[in-house]
Structure 1
Amino acid sequence: MDTPKTENATDCPVDHVKTAPAEPAAGCPVDHAKPQAKPAAVPASTLGGPKGSLPIQALKLFSHPSEFMTKCRQSYGSRFRVNIFPGAQIYVLTDPDDVKAMFLAPRDVLYTGSSSAQIEKFTGQTGLAWLDEDEHTKRRKTLMPSFKGGALQRIDAAIGAMAEQYVAQWPRDRVVSLHPYVHRFTMQVIREVVFGNAVPSCWDELFEELMRMLDFNRRKASLLLLHRLSPAKMKMVRAIKPLGVDDFVKTRARVDALIAKAVKERLESGVSGDDMLSVMLSLTKDDGSQLSGVEIRDEMMTMFLAGTETTAAGICWTLEYLTREPEVLKKVLAEIDEGTDDAYLTAVVHEVLRLRPPTPQIIPRAVMKPIEIGGIQYGPGMHLWASGYLLNRDPERYPQPDEFRPERFIGTKPGAYTWIPFGGGHTRCLGDRIAILEMKAVVREVLSTCELRRADPKPEAPRSRAVVIIPEHGTRLELRAKAPKRSLAGGS
């Protein structure tokens, strides 16, 4: 097609997308014979952000996470800085291209381990969440067999049986907050991941102590970086009983002792398998040594935290959305009754995770070497924080982004850089497939056995539970038992 002529003599007639001629055309201000210099990167320090003090911004993020982040993007654009961690320069990224560049950055440029301080009180500092570069790669490769292949098949079968067992025990005919019950279910699933069929004799006690320990996440004091407090300050916060820090520390000590007991029991039994504990006990490091008791404890606690809190949030949000979207619920029920496919239920789960990623801002990346992303120069000491919440609601990728429309994911897989409820890059969650299996199993079991009634037609707002976001009231519903279906083969 010929290029239309212009009547304006000052316009440039050259198609800059095509190969430029050796001589510039008359009236064109660009000398195409010379290579055009790349625009200089803009220092990250020029990016805007909210002006409030650290305590004020942190409280806003904890109390109204979605509103706080949304207002920041509206005011400052797709990249902005926030002041929520002491001594940290944090820059939030919400554009898919920026997030992709962050995920694909060399492993010696961006670290995640140094950004895990928020969960250190649970996980310690030696597990996968704290490792970078070659150490992270090797540990991740070693643990992977516990999450795929035969192990995944075993876990999948256990999830189905557990969903049937535990949903049957949930209260009927009265309004309750489902989150505590869902969280207990997800902890039992992680027991299967960590211990497999060789459940330790102390599991029942360990289970209750773990649930008590993780209950600390509902308190604002869970935001404290306890490991960075001086002994004097730690003594002070423990003395303030309403904060719950003293109870948390004592419970953590009991959990540590029970984990050590479970590991000792496994070593003495000689049992081996594809469960996570077996894999860790067989791991040999470069110097020929095996993982220490502390390293095994830290890795297990990472799973007991990250593998339960996030999935419980996802399940609660799914039930929350289904009970306020009758047409979607009707389609899910029809698919379950048909029993031949779960494509629509899968799309529902994907859409819930788009709208309500359990961890709305993924683990920050600490900048170790200078990196340019999207024309912005970030330097050592800065942190890049990808917002899954804002990214997943990008109107250019998701029309009417705030609407619950599972049809977006029918016949379409979520994009690696436009849908990040499980993080991304080389630190993407190891248990992402297990989480989705859990979400579908619980929803399927609940809808197959119960009629659901909302206690309040008003949608539940998001509420922070440490690093995850759950429905404000924990998904308050009434479960009413469905009448058993009559047999079509002559049953009465």
Structure 2
Amino acid sequence: MRFNVLTGNAFGWPLRKFLRDLPQDYIGTMSKVQARHGDLVHWRMFAGMVNLAFISDSTLNRELFVRNTDALGKSPSQIQTFLFAAGQSVATAHGEAWRTKRKEANNLFSRSAVEASCAGQVAVTQDYITGLPATPQQALTIARRLAAVTSSRGILGRAISLEEAAKQIAFSKAAADRFNVESGQLFARPDWMQAPWRGELTRRKNEVFPIVQNAVDALRASNAPNDGLMNHYVNGDFITSNDDEMHSILVGLLMGAQDNIAAAAAWVLAFLAQHPDLQNQIRTELSQKGSQASDLHGCALLNATLCEVLRMRPPAPANQPRVLQKRVELAGHQLPKGTYVFNSFYNMHRDPAVFTDPDRFDPTRFLDGTLVRSPSFAPFGHGPRNCVAQGMAMQQLMAIIAGSLRHHRLETNQQTLPAITQMPFLTPAPFEVTFRKIT
């Protein structure tokens, strides 16, 4: 397989139109690239001064993200959004600084640390679902609230109110809205040009930081057991230079665990509502298990269903566009330093050579565990730069399914799956669901 090298406007879009279209329709844009020009495309413009690479081949995508980790960086405008929203993190670091922060993050998201809060996440889900009226409700609203209450339960180690959840949701939305715009702004811009959006994001940040501060203060005052990730900072397993740094880390974790989980949870509701028999099978599986992480990991159909939803509707359809920090050889082709790299997990998840009848929803394809290890299945990315919190994300989603279905039946009047929207995560168009108590 070789790169198809295009120059000038042979690509099919003027650069300005491409950068305008990309944030609104990443899936459509990447699908057009693949359909017109193949799985590997190098677009050279302005005599090679601007280079864009598009990769829809799963094997070479994994090679890039595994063997060339140090060559990959985010665009300056994306980094500016991350820094302003939550401060320094593994998402903004590079080189040795990235390796240090990634090691810290790996330790924080260790399996034992993450799994400690699983039963609590199931419980807050059940409490929320039980409080819903047995009438049609907006599924996106439910999904966003479930993402907020489960992420806070896992990170802060305590349940939050719906008022606090609303503040967390608003903060994450303000950051996501800006990030969606910045994804198309590949080239660095002066900070003053970004001034108009800072006010909204600042206001939302100022609503979320007190939630974290109150949780920290309560833990310090009571010294009560806490199974959230926050406990590792407050009680000294992870040392920060001061409380401001700790608060920024925790707020960043809450932000990162909100919108992508909300999008995935909304798709879970959409698919399950269309398949009542599958709900019954999962409920039977859950009836023989408890709510600890080991119990949910032992539910084969629950896990297979979650994987199939993530295959068909990965919340993040790709890595954020990366910038090569040095020249990289891939498939015998040289991509120069400064090349902007785009990929598509959405396209990879539909490779018919790997996934038979890829447009069909079929959780059983994941039951034997083979496809989970395929390079074509990458809902959390590839290599050392994959999503560091994927274990927490999977646990949240398992807890949401378990807490929703154990005592309730999910219904919808919608005959087909909702359409896809991009905000910037792939979310379903608005639809309604009803949770009915099983007696």
Matched, 1:418 2:380: no
Instruction: Indicate the residue corresponding to 2:57 in structure 1.
Output: 95
Alpha-carbon shift at residue 307 of structure 1 (Å): 1.3
The number of residues matched between the two structures is: 424
Instruction: Indicate the residue corresponding to 2:274 in structure 1.
Output: 324
Alpha-carbon shift at residue 407 of structure 1 (Å): 1.6
CA contact (8 A) 2:345 2:378 kept: yes
SS at match of 2:117: helix
Instruction: Indicate the residue corresponding to 1:447 in structure 2.
Output: 405
- 1:407/1:43 CA distance change after superposition, 3 Å: closer
- 1:46/1:327 CA distance change after superposition, 3 Å: farther
AA at the equivalent of 2:321 = P
Instruction: Indicate the residue corresponding to 1:241 in structure 2.
Output: none
Matched, 1:355 2:312: yes
CA contact (8 A) 2:176 2:259 kept: no
For 1:387 and 1:141, locate their aligned partners in 2 and report how far apart those are by CA, in whole Å.
27
- 1:337/1:284 CA distance change after superposition, 3 Å: closer
Matched, 1:153 2:115: yes
Alpha-carbon shift at residue 207 of structure 1 (Å): 4.2
Alignment partner for residue 89 of structure 2, among 92, 114, 127?
127
For 1:49 and 1:279, locate their aligned partners in 2 and report how far apart those are by CA, in whole Å.
54
1:94-113 per-position Cα deviation (integer Å, ceiling 9, x unaligned): 11221121122244322358
Give the number of the structure whose residues are more often helix, by fraction.
Answer: 2
CA contact (8 A) 1:167 1:442 kept: no
CA contact (8 A) 1:65 1:463 kept: no
User: Which residues in structure 2 correspond to 1:253-292 (within 5 Å)?
Assistant: 253-256=206-209, 259=212, 275-280=228-233, 282=236, 290-292=240-242
Instruction: Indicate the residue corresponding to 1:375 in structure 2.
Output: 332
CA contact (8 A) 2:76 2:188 kept: no
- 1:347/1:67 CA distance change after superposition, 3 Å: same
For 1:385 and 1:298, locate their aligned partners in 2 and report how far apart those are by CA, in whole Å.
29
- 1:265/1:140 CA distance change after superposition, 3 Å: farther
SS at match of 1:104: helix
1:15-67 per-position Cα deviation (integer Å, ceiling 9, x unaligned): xxxxxxxxxxxxxxxxxxxxxxxx9x869665997533455434544444433
For 1:268 and 1:477, locate their aligned partners in 2 and report how far apart those are by CA, in whole Å.
41
Alignment partner for residue 191 of structure 1, among 109, 132, 152?
152
AA at the equivalent of 1:165 = D
CA contact (8 A) 2:113 2:229 kept: no
Work out the percentage of aligned pairs sharing the same amino acid. Answer: 19
CA contact (8 A) 1:118 1:223 kept: no
Matched, 1:136 2:94: no
For 1:55 and 1:365, locate their aligned partners in 2 and report how far apart those are by CA, in whole Å.
19
Instruction: Indicate the residue corresponding to 1:299 in structure 2.
Output: 249
- 1:278/1:387 CA distance change after superposition, 3 Å: same
For 1:325 and 1:293, locate their aligned partners in 2 and report how far apart those are by CA, in whole Å.
47
User: Which residues in structure 2 correspond to 1:159-238 (within 5 Å)?
Assistant: 159-173=121-135, 175-196=136-157, 207-216=165-174, 222-224=180-182, 230=190, 233-234=193-194, 237=196
- 1:320/1:273 CA distance change after superposition, 3 Å: closer
- 1:232/1:140 CA distance change after superposition, 3 Å: closer
CA contact (8 A) 1:44 1:376 kept: no
CA contact (8 A) 2:305 2:363 kept: yes
- 1:72/1:107 CA distance change after superposition, 3 Å: closer
SS at match of 1:349: helix
CA contact (8 A) 2:213 2:247 kept: yes
Alignment partner for residue 247 of structure 1, among 173, 182, 200?
200
Alpha-carbon shift at residue 133 of structure 1 (Å): 2.9
For 1:265 and 1:336, locate their aligned partners in 2 and report how far apart those are by CA, in whole Å.
34
Alpha-carbon shift at residue 460 of structure 1 (Å): 0.7
For 2:432 and 2:400, locate their aligned partners in 1 and report how far apart those are by CA, in whole Å.
16
User: Which residues in structure 2 correspond to 1:383-422 (within 5 Å)?
Assistant: 383-413=340-370, 414-415=372-373, 417-422=375-380
Matched, 1:117 2:67: no
AA at the equivalent of 1:345 = L
- 1:124/1:50 CA distance change after superposition, 3 Å: farther
CA contact (8 A) 2:172 2:258 kept: no
1:81-140 per-position Cα deviation (integer Å, ceiling 9, x unaligned): 689xxx974422111221121122244322358584385266444111112233223223
For 1:343 and 1:47, locate their aligned partners in 2 and report how far apart those are by CA, in whole Å.
50
For 2:213 and 2:51, locate their aligned partners in 1 and report how far apart those are by CA, in whole Å.
38
SS at match of 1:108: helix
SS at match of 1:172: coil
Alpha-carbon shift at residue 353 of structure 1 (Å): 0.7
CA contact (8 A) 1:316 1:470 kept: yes
CA contact (8 A) 1:66 1:462 kept: no
- 1:298/1:116 CA distance change after superposition, 3 Å: farther
1:422-459 per-position Cα deviation (integer Å, ceiling 9, x unaligned): 11211222322222222223223333333333232132
SS at match of 2:355: coil
Work out which structure has the larger RCO, using CA pairs closer than 8 Å and 6 or more positions apart in sequence. 2
SS at match of 1:394: coil
SS at match of 1:463: strand
For 1:269 and 1:230, locate their aligned partners in 2 and report how far apart those are by CA, in whole Å.
46
Structure 1 residues not aligned, in runs of 5+: 1-38, 239-244, 485-492
CA contact (8 A) 2:139 2:432 kept: yes
Rg (Cα) greater in structure: 1
- 1:418/1:79 CA distance change after superposition, 3 Å: same
Alpha-carbon shift at residue 311 of structure 1 (Å): 1.6
- 1:457/1:224 CA distance change after superposition, 3 Å: same
Instruction: Indicate the residue corresponding to 1:14 in structure 2.
Output: none
AA at the equivalent of 2:375 = Y
AA at the equivalent of 1:250 = R
- 1:469/1:381 CA distance change after superposition, 3 Å: same
Alpha-carbon shift at residue 335 of structure 1 (Å): 3.5
Structure-1-length-normalised TM-score: 0.74
Instruction: Indicate the residue corresponding to 2:292 in structure 1.
Output: none
For 1:402 and 1:49, locate their aligned partners in 2 and report how far apart those are by CA, in whole Å.
31
For 1:300 and 1:61, locate their aligned partners in 2 and report how far apart those are by CA, in whole Å.
31
1:135-179 per-position Cα deviation (integer Å, ceiling 9, x unaligned): 223223223343334423321121121121111123322x22222
CA contact (8 A) 2:11 2:43 kept: yes
CA contact (8 A) 2:146 2:400 kept: no
Alignment partner for residue 309 of structure 1, among 255, 259, 263?
259
AA at the equivalent of 2:369 = T
